[in-house]
Amino acid sequence: MTAAPFPTALAPVKRVSLLRRFLRRPMGVIALFLFLIVVFLAVFAPLLAKFDPNHVDFNLVYARPGNGHVLGGDSAGRDLYSRLLYGAKTTLWGALITCVAGLVIGVPAGVSAGYFGGTLDRILTWISDALQSVPAMIVLLVVAAGSGQSFPVLMIALGVFLAPGYYRISRARAMSVRREPYIDAARVSGMTNARILRTHMMRAVYPPLVVQTALTAGIAIGMQAGLQFLGIGSASTPSWGQMMNDGFRNILSYPILLLWPSIILGVTVAALALMGSTLADLISVRAEQPTPRLRAKARQWMATPPAASDLPAREPSGMHAHQIENCALRVDNLRVGYATKAGLKEVVRGVSLDAAPGEVLGIVGESGSGKTQTSFAVLDLLPSGGTAVADGIWIGGKEVSRLSAKDRTALLGREIAYVPQEPLSNLDPCYTVERQLVEPLRRVHGMSKADARKRAREVLVRVGITDPDRVLRSYPHQISGGMAQRVLIAGAVSGRPSLLIADEPTTALDVTVQAEVLELLRELQREYGMALMIVTHNFGVVADICDRVVVMKDGRIVETGAVERIFRSPEDPYTAELISASLDDADGRHELDEAWAANGSSAAEGRSAAHAAGEDGAR
Amino acid sequence: MSGDTSPLLRVDDLVVDYRLARGVRFRALKGVSITVGAGECVGLVGESGSGKSTLGRALLGLAPVESGKVTFDGQDITHAKGTARRKLANDIQVVFQDPYGSLDPTMTVEEILAEPLEVTGTSKKQARAVVAEMLDRVRLPGDAVHRYPSEFSGGQRQRIAIARALVRRPRLIVCDEPVSALDLTTQATILDLFIDLQRETGVAYLFISHDLGVVRRVCHRTSVMYQGEIVESGHTRAVTEEPDHPYTRRLLLAAPVADPARQAERRAAWLGLRDSA
Amino acid sequence: MLSFIAKRLLSGIVLLLVVTSGTFFLAHLAIGDPTQGLLGNSATPAQSAALRAKIGYDDPLLVQFWNWLSHAATGDFGKSWRSFQPVGDTLALRIPVTLSVVIVALLLAAVFGVLIGIICGLRPGGVLDRVLKVASVVLFALPGFWVSIQLVILFAVNLHWFPVIGYTSPDKDLGGWFRSITLPSISLALGAIVLIAEQLRNGFIEVANQDFVRTLRARGLSKRRVTMHVLRNASPAALTVLALMFVGLLGGAVVVETVFTLPGIGTLTQSASQIGDMPSLLGVTAITVAFVVVINFLLDLVLGWVNPKVRER
């Protein structure tokens, strides 16, 4: 029996609740605290304020604080403090109505539009776009003119205008989630649309909605105050906008009247906005950008590791096969690290290798082995946050690891070229193929426009494109994956490099195209006498094209050797395991079933194989 | 088992059209016929755009069938919708390629695995027992239930996806490139798991892959698809070792083998075939 | 491409129709009999009846709408129910005021937004980037009139750099005109600047992490040239925001004009809505939506130029 090995016990995980993570952000905590104060003031306004906010006392007109009137009086002789607190009540109540209206209108519409798509989506999206193209303030004034100054009606109308925000977010989320295979799987397991919408869709939409509600509440409060400032709303309902209006009319004589409503309105809006943005940060799936400080720390750590670090031994792994002066590429004890908030993550941990001109070196390993990072380090094109340190990197016999970033860039396109994995994502979607091939020839090699175009066309013909003029005119989305990979190879070799680094150049391609591309790489490599460093996980590709192989695991080289020797007698057990994992020489199902049957499995269980044999006549 | 004479699944002359923009149609399947017997594993090999995934989706009711007939256990399910389609969930399940997108990231493993059972009104307690059994079957430790998909490796997630396909004890699982996103060593163990599960439960697979090596490992019979049509079908060993159709031969010779000497021969043969074409 | 243009134009016209008819019926529903608002509480029933007859209010609703629509299509927006001046004339006087404020604000937003966005996109996590992040959140949420008032207090009341209120026509005094629209424009622009900067920054970082950028660098292109590629790919989102901002600024202008007592369409809307002067309200709505349609149309053209994929739709 071919038992799958039982995975070792699961590694412990640390999960931190969203609330706790929120409370770790100082900005979020301060914002939440301020907002809670406003909520407290609003809820307990009748207890906290001693005076009726609408009671007019002529002694209090423009009065300074005193006599129990904490903040004094306004232009009509009403208690400022009371009005501020009751205003908070009005404001929050209004914002609540607006958000609920926006949610109730926007979310169901958005989720169904995104999930069902088609005509429903087109109609709803048109309505949403239309709502967004109407200046809301103007229509709200029209509504206010006739709604008998009814506050809830006005706030619902405001919610209608803010609903497109909810609509867009829930539609976008629903659309991206709908394409996820887990939705298809849910349908296949017999779930109704209603149930999928209720469970999977709502779970996916919920976090961004929380963020959107914080932002919407802030905007709603702002617009509400704006309307009140314009004199909309009943005079007997105290509000911050009204108070600011009162203050603004007396800006030259009593600017102090503006102070308190300005502060409380500004603080409330800002607190909501900051809460929203902190939440957005926490739930965003986007990888965090390493800050300049983290990057500097990574560089420092790579050079001199912190004393307490428990990084494993740093002696180099791998070996050199050629003299330095005979190498197109030589790497000596290369290490690559990324600074994370948890500390330094070393992904390449001491790698030495080399390749002679005209030699094809394969770097082979599984995901996470550090093979791609090694090639990026040689190119000096590590993703941001990555730092490479080496005892030496020689390219064309020249030591380059101490060169400035600018001098390293000068090697690219001339000495070294690069062929990436995904053909279509590696072409700029906004420019034609011609522009992308010609630009480096002109800028890097100083060719004239006509010469560059001629060279680009020649190289396209060389890489096997039969209608180069059409391809030159095309945008990347107009050509196939195999064609795009040929264009990328053309771009790489058009500068006649002495070293070509190909990172999984065939992985994204169909098998038949893969064979063509490998053949092309082999031809070009021989024709130009280039050294070719090819990164792959596929031992078939290694067997096809490589002269020597480097096998990597967890950022270190486990074995280096000539390709025949590695396949014939791998020295490291990991190499042997990788080679045997490729299914070429493994038993097929037929042999497996025969062996299983011979091992005395019951006749009943052998039925499946028997059935297959019975169907053989179908051929 | 429905008896040896009539297969579990029978697809006759199936045609699927996708509507592109402005009334333009793309015929993804041009009259495809295939059978899958109970407990059997049938491979479907082809390159991107060959229609192999479309065939799988059409069986699951996820692709628009223009004409033709799909029969499952003697019952016409070509256009099964609503309740009829949902009832089929008892018998037909699916495992997708992407081990990241095929599990809802907001649910725990227990919720994911129990969901197909809850639909049928299984009690919580019963569901929990089945979930534990299935985790054991796919060789995952029982304490996995309270974890989220993001806390697993690609291979482990694929085991969870397989467990989800198994909880309703289906008779057929459509496997759409279930190992192509995995590392080689993981791929080998997951393939062996598929074989073991088939022997233990008697489930049938329609196994979709672009990789002849993978198909050779798990499939009893194999069909090769090219541009929406099946160009060759037969016993897997015959198809993968002595193919009849020129396309299958090209496909076979194009896939490099992990042996420099044999690959050199294969490449020479491939070049000869290419230049003669 | 031609069908693309025709489609967008048609969609714009439909939008215009829907919004104006929506406003017409909404306003009728909301305002009811306008004569009380127009004449005040002291008007006699006879006076009201005369006014109703004069403005055609006794006609059936659909007839009124058709009358308005058929005239509006020829550019005649009718006469104000209050002053009996042609609405078109009033709009012609007031639109330049609003537009000058909005356009200056948009220019400020575009220039500074793009500048700040690029700087932050090139150095994510830097000091400026972190400041932008907080500023963008807060400034976008703060209402325009609130910002205006703080600016007035600081620059007009305390520093006396700008007039507190009022508008000077550019043909009278260009410097005075500029001084009179500076504060309103800035208070409108602040939120827009940070929003555009934030959009561009995020887009910039997203594009900069895409594969093709590494490939371009591997070809030996200089940092500046690669940045141009990134910028072009990141621009659609920022452009879309810029167009949306135009709508937002038109709305915001209503309140800001009141703060600065500018004789634009904002103050016109406000006074017209208070007395129920329907022809003026409809005129304002029609003209603002027309502007929005034109801006969106231009946006589509620019997006099509920037992104070749859009062109083919």
What are the angstrom distances between the C-alpha of B84 and each of A192, B56, B77, B78, B174? 12, 18, 8, 11, 18
Q: Which residues contact A39 (CB under 8 A, 6 or more apart)?
A: A92
CB-nearest partner of A289 from C124, C252, C307: C124
Residue A360 phi/psi, 5-degree rounding, is -110, 115
Asked if the B1-91+170-244 domain carries CATH number 3.40.50.720, the reply is: no
Chain A closest CA to C301's CA: distance in Å? 15
B92 touches chain A (CB under 8 A): yes
User: What phi-psi label fits residue B228: left (phi over 0), alpha (psi between -120 and 50 degrees) or beta?
Assistant: left
The pLDDT of residue A497 is 93
Tokens of C155: 């620059």
pLDDT tens digits, A520-560: 999 999 999 999 999 999 999 999 999 999 999 999 999 99
Residue A485: CB atoms within 10 A of its CB come to 29
For chain A, which domains are there?
Answer: 22-283 (1.10.3720.10), 357-368+411-611 (3.40.50.300)
Q: What is the dihedral of CA A603, A609, A611, A612, to 10 degrees?
A: -170
Contact A257, A250 (CB under 8 A): yes
pLDDT tens digits, C95-128: 888 988 999 999 999 999 999 999 888 888 778 8
A4 touches chain B (CB under 8 A): yes
DSSP reduced 3-state for C161: coil
What are the angstrom distances between the C-alpha of A20 and each of A23, A212, A270, A517, B73? 5, 20, 22, 52, 53
Mean of all residue pLDDT scores within chain B: 90
CB contact under 8 A, A146 and C306: no
Using alpha carbons only, give the angle B223, B228, B232 rounded to the nearest 5 degrees: 25
Residue B61 phi/psi, 5-degree rounding, is 80, 20
Neighbouring chains to B with at least 3 Cβ pairs closer than 8 Å: A
**Average pLDDT over every residue of A574-592:** 85
Closest by CA to A205, choosing from A308, A325, A334, A106, is A106
Q: Is C64 exposed, middle or buried (0-12, 13-18, 19+ CB in 10 A)?
A: middle
Contact B193, B138 (CB under 8 A): yes
In C, minimum Cα distance to A274 occurs at C137
pLDDT tens digits, C265-298: 888 888 887 777 888 888 888 888 888 888 888 8
CB contact under 8 A, C19 and A222: no
Q: Which residues contact A393 (CB under 8 A, 6 or more apart)?
A: A329, A330, A331, A332, A334, A377, A378, A399, A400, A401
C-alpha A293: how far from its chain's center? 21
The pLDDT of residue A312 is 56
Contact A531, A358 (CB under 8 A): yes
Residue C83: CB atoms within 10 A of its CB come to 11
Residue A446: CB atoms within 10 A of its CB come to 9
CB-nearest partner of B119 from A190, A510, A612: A190
Using alpha carbons only, give the angle C113, A214, A284 rounded to the nearest 5 degrees: 70
Whole-angstrom distance, CA of residue A326 vs CA of residue A323: 5
CATH number belonging to domain C91-259: 1.10.3720.10
More confident residue, A565 or C191: A565
Tokens of C203: 């887009």
Greatest alpha-carbon pair distance for chain A in Å reads: 107
pLDDT tens digits, A238-255: 889 888 888 888 877 887
CB contact under 8 A, C220 and A414: yes
**pLDDT at residue B211 greater than cutoff 50:** yes
Q: What is the dihedral of CA B154, B156, B160, B166, to 10 degrees?
A: 110
Mean of all residue pLDDT scores within chain C: 83
Of A178-187, A444-453, C26-35, C44-53, the range with the lowest mean pLDDT is: C26-35
The pLDDT of residue C167 is 78
DSSP reduced 3-state for B44: strand
Model confidence band, residue A603 (pLDDT cutoffs 50, 70, 90): very low
DSSP A351: E
Question: Strand B75-76 relative to strand B172-176: parallel, antiparallel, unpaired?
Answer: unpaired
> Where exactly are the structural domains of chain C?
91-259
A1 touches chain B (CB under 8 A): yes
**Average pLDDT over every residue of C129-140:** 82
**pLDDT at residue B2 greater than cutoff 50:** no
More confident residue, B35 or A384: B35
What are the angstrom distances between the C-alpha of A238 and each of A141, A232, C116? 19, 12, 40
**Average pLDDT over every residue of B190-207:** 94
Chain A residues with CB under 8 Å of C305 CB are none
Contact B207, B162 (CB under 8 A): no
Whole-angstrom distance, CA of residue C52 vs CA of residue C54: 5
Chain C residues with CB under 8 Å of A440 CB are 219-221
More confident residue, A611 or A11: A11
For helices C223-260 and A136-146, give the axis angle rounded to 10 degrees: 20
Neighbouring chains to C with at least 3 Cβ pairs closer than 8 Å: A
**Block residue for tokens 């900067």:** C197
**pLDDT at residue A137 greater than cutoff 50:** yes
Whole-angstrom distance, CA of residue A450 vs CA of residue A439: 12
The pLDDT of residue B265 is 93
pTM listed for this prediction: 0.82
Residue B11 phi/psi, 5-degree rounding, is -115, 125
**pLDDT at residue A605 greater than cutoff 50:** no
A514 touches chain B (CB under 8 A): yes
Q: Is B277 exposed, middle or buried (0-12, 13-18, 19+ CB in 10 A)?
A: exposed
In A, minimum Cα distance to C158 occurs at A252
Residue of C23, C273, C297 to mutate, testing the A interface (most A Cβ within 10 Å of its Cβ):
C273
> Where exactly are the structural domains of chain B?
1-91+170-244, 105-169, 245-277
Give kind and range of the element (H or E) at residue A102.
helix A80-116
A119 touches chain B (CB under 8 A): no
pLDDT tens digits, A376-410: 999 999 988 888 989 899 998 889 988 998 899 99
Residue A390 phi/psi, 5-degree rounding, is -145, 155
